């Protein structure tokens, strides 16, 4: 059964569309069209939960995005943010965790259509073959990707990136050794196993409370090109290109609502982090 929010969202989306059209034209004229970074988790048709998108819905979403915006790599998204100049709607596709089911239809679709994608994996689950603890806690035992699957994806052009080693809440990790292992060593080991650069890092859970300045510091020192959060919000040209804010894709109407710049999310506060040795606060 649909909840009241799900029933009201189409009314909100279509009711605010004239404002969105005007706002997006204004942003384009000012070279300030926001860069949208979406994230998915599991694409499958069985045992759906809040983080699962069906294969049919995913294919429809990709088709809609390709028609209404440019789908760009995370590196290109970063370039547009850094340049301070973007006039066209663009979207970057990412995945978190690393579920085996994604290799059945979703990843082959992206490869076939030559759509860039960044795929963040939790390395410990890949190597051990164990389901994710947050899924097990909900009674689900979804299989993670295998190392051979990651290598095949990388060979096909999918960018593989780090999502820590064991998927902890980094906002609650104060032990320096553990933090280093999760942020830095996970990426180095993944890079060695793939024989390819690991350029990006995504925080598990990704809300404000799950981020930390120290983790940002370690990620920058490790040589990551950018880190990703998951609390929603857009990336405007001229924003900090090291911290990419992401929005959950969800179902079709929510995707349309978010990809066309939801007025409510324009004002999402960015996580502010401070790097050691810097006198100025960096706004992520």
Q: What pLDDT digit, counting tens, does each position of 43-101 carry?
A: 999 867 889 999 999 999 999 999 999 999 999 999 999 999 999 999 999 999 999 99
pLDDT band at 1 (very low <50, low <70, confident <90, very high): very low
Cα 95 to Cα 230: distance, rounded to the nearest angstrom: 11
Q: What does the pLDDT look like over 250-283, one tens digit per residue?
A: 889 999 999 999 998 888 899 999 887 654 455 5
**Segments making up each domain of the chain, as ranges:** 4-164+231-283
Please return the burial class of 233, using the count of CB atoms within 10 Å of its CB with bins 0-12, 13-18 and 19+: buried
Predicted pLDDT of residue 5: 66
Q: Looking at the domain 4-164+231-283, which fold is it?
A: TIM Barrel (3.20.20)
pTM of the model: 0.94
Could you tell me which residues come within 8 angstroms of residue 56 by beta carbon, excluding any fewer than 6 positions away? 45
Residue ranges in the chain assigned as alpha helix (H):
4-15, 17-29, 55-68, 74-83, 106-112, 123-128, 133-136, 147-155, 176-180, 186-194, 213-222, 252-259
- What are the tens digits of pLDDT across the range 205-261? 999 999 999 999 999 999 999 999 999 999 999 999 999 999 999 889 999 999 999
> What's the CA gap between 39 and 41, in Å, rounded?
7
């Amino acid at each position: 059964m649909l909840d009241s929010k799900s029933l009201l969202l189409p009314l909100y989306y279509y009711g605010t569309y004239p404002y969105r059209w005007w706002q997006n034209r204004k942003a384009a004229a000012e070279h300030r069209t926001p860069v949208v970074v979406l994230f998915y988790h599991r694409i499958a048709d069985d045992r759906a939960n809040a983080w699962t998108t069906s294969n049919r819905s995913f294919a429809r979403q990709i088709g809609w995005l390709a028609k209404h915006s440019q789908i760009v790599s995370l590196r290109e998204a970063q370039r547009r943010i850094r340049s301070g100049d973007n006039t066209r709607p663009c979207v970057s596709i990412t995945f978190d965790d690393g579920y085996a089911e994604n290799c059945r239809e979703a990843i082959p679709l992206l490869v076939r259509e030559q759509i860039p994608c960044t795929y963040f994996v939790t390395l410990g689950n890949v190597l051990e073959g164990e389901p994710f603890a947050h899924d097990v806690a909900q009674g689900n035992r979804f299989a993670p990707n295998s190392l051979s699957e990651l290598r095949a994806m990388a060979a096909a052009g999918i960018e593989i990136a780090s999502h820590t080693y064991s998927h902890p809440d980094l906002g609650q990790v104060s032990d320096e050794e553990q933090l280093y292992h999760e942020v830095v060593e996970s990426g180095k080991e993944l890079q060695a196993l793939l024989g390819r650069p690991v350029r990006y890092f995504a925080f598990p859970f990704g809300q404000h409370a799950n981020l930390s300045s120290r983790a940002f510091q370690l990620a920058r020192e490790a040589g990551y090109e950018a880190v990703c959060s998951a609390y929603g919000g857009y990336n405007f040209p001229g924003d900090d290109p090291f911290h990419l804010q992401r929005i959950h894709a969800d179902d079709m109407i929510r995707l349309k609502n978010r990809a066309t710049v939801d007025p409510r999310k324009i004002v999402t506060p960015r996580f502010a982090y401070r790097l050691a040795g810097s006198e100025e606060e960096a706004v992520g």
